[in-house]
Amino acid sequence: MAEQRAQPIGVDRGFWTVTLVLAVLAVASIIFWILFPISKYLPEAIITARQVDTMFRFMAASGSALYVFIAGYLIYFSIAFRAKASDPPDAIGVQIHDNPKLEFWWTLLPAIFVLLLSVISVRIWYEILLEPENGLVIQAIGHQFYFSFRYPNVNGEITDEMHLPLGEPVTLNLTSADVIHGFWVPAMRLKNDTVPGLVTTIRFTPQLAGRYQIICTQFCGVLHSQMHKQVLVIEDRASFDKWYQGWQQRNAHVSNALPAAPGQAISLQGGDAAAGKTLFAQKCTACHKLAPFDQRLVGPGLQGVLHDPAHPNLVNGKPATPENVAGILQNGFTGSLGTMPNASANGLSSQDIANLVAFLNTLKL
Ligand code: HEC
Ligand SMILES: [Cu+2]
């Protein structure tokens, strides 16, 4: 067997030239991330957004500097140590193992870096948690496929925009009525999942007026891709008060009652078709069209649900009567077309159900 001793590989002038070039590029990329005007592209809508951006700068700067060295050396070494034309076809490279000095440093340096990263993240997280608790307390609730908002002294839910006054601390309690959604406002840099049965809290203080997109970041069902259309409006106190009082009046008649529990008796007496129509536009049109049965969106068209001779039975096989429609609204139903959420998921009180049934009963094909 031929004794093959590894040739020590020396570094030559080329290596040091490449190192110098890469060092210059790495420093340039670090300076780029220090100077990059993030807020020009993504406004810093709340006070703690700046800290999160600082963290991002640190990670982007170290990431790009590392990338420059790793990619640069990869290219340089694959050229410098490529197989020569004179090498026999079955030649193998120099076999090296163990370099304690190198291994020491490539363990120590990343360990220090990761430690630094965690110290910085914990400090920023701490500052976010320290935001004042005594501000406006609001609930945001994830639904398929929108967020609803509850404000103190406003009945029911607000389902289009979320408004906040400038400069006043906010406590936002998040939960979900059906599946896991993610509540994300990129301009705030804050993001939290909304989980059914769990309330999580984020606190912040708006510092910049504007309209900011709210996005759901969890794949929550067929219309998840539509969950980016609502906005957070940050405005001065006077405009906020006007909006707030507008909702207090508009929702004055809306019931604050809790969703109808399964099995709870529901009286269809006194159902208000006009209120049902408003509610339908808020809570049902994401999944149902006012069109014949076979014109599906997510669920079937509902125009003729109670008055279509061609469809004497509901999807659950029961006759199309107001009581049986109320039963589907209360208990939900999962069949071959998918899942109709129950009253708790749709946030329907027993009065809401009576109103909806009264409305559906007015529809004719
Ligand atoms: C997340 C989507 C979704 C939402 C929101 C939703 N539905 Fe449904 N609905 C469905 C699906 C899917 C079905 C069919 C279930 C099956 O048969 O598999 C259905 C079935 C129904 C039926 C039975 C129709 C028939 O012909 O038998 C009625 C009535 C109904 N929904 C009313 C409503 C009302 C009123 C609302 C608003 C409060 C609403 N739905 C909200 C998805 C939804
Ligand atoms: Cu969602």
What was the pLDDT predicted at 62? 93
What was the pLDDT predicted at 8? 55
Q: What is the pLDDT of residues 60-99, one digit of tens each?
A: 999 999 999 999 999 999 998 888 888 888 888 778 888 8
DSSP letter at 218 equals S
What is 301-328 written as a DSSP string? --TTTTT-TT--B-TTSSB--HHHHHHH
Backbone angles phi, psi at 276, to 5 degrees: -65, -35
**Which protein residues are within 6 Å of ligand 1, measured from CB?**
144, 280, 283-284, 286-288, 293, 298-300, 302, 305, 314-315, 325, 328-329, 333-341, 346, 348, 356
Ligand 1 centroid to 287 CA: how many Å?
7
Q: Among residues of the chain, what percentage have pLDDT more than 90?
A: 65
Q: How far is Cα 28 from Cα 31, in angstroms, rounded to an integer?
A: 5
Q: What is the number of the ligand 1 atom nearest to the C-alpha of 286?
A: 5
Q: Which of 288, 296, 306, 337 to mutate to test the pocket of ligand 1 (most atoms within 8 A of CB)?
A: 288
pLDDT (average), residues 283-292 = 92
What was the pLDDT predicted at 197? 82
> For residue 2, is pLDDT > 60?
no
Confidence class for position 104, pLDDT limits 50, 70, 90? very high
Report which protein residue has its CA nearest ligand 1's atom 41.
Answer: 284
CB atoms under 10 Å from CB of 125, counted, come to 14
> For residue 280, is pLDDT > 60?
yes
Site of tokens 């936002």: 172
Q: Which two tokens stand for residue 150?
A: 């509850």
Q: At what angle do helices 350-362 and 322-331 cross, to 10 degrees?
A: 130
Least confident segment among 84-93, 134-143, 282-291: 84-93
pLDDT (average), residues 279-292 = 91
Per DSSP, the three-state class of 140 is strand
What was the pLDDT predicted at 101? 92
What was the pLDDT predicted at 256? 67
pTM across the whole model: 0.64
Confidence class for position 7, pLDDT limits 50, 70, 90? low
Per DSSP, the three-state class of 186 is helix
Q: What is the pLDDT of residues 335-357, one digit of tens each?
A: 888 889 888 778 888 889 999 99
Average pLDDT over the chain, rounded to whole? 90
Peptide bond into 145 cis (omega under 30): yes
Ligand 2 centroid to 225 CA: how many Å?
8
What was the pLDDT predicted at 3? 45
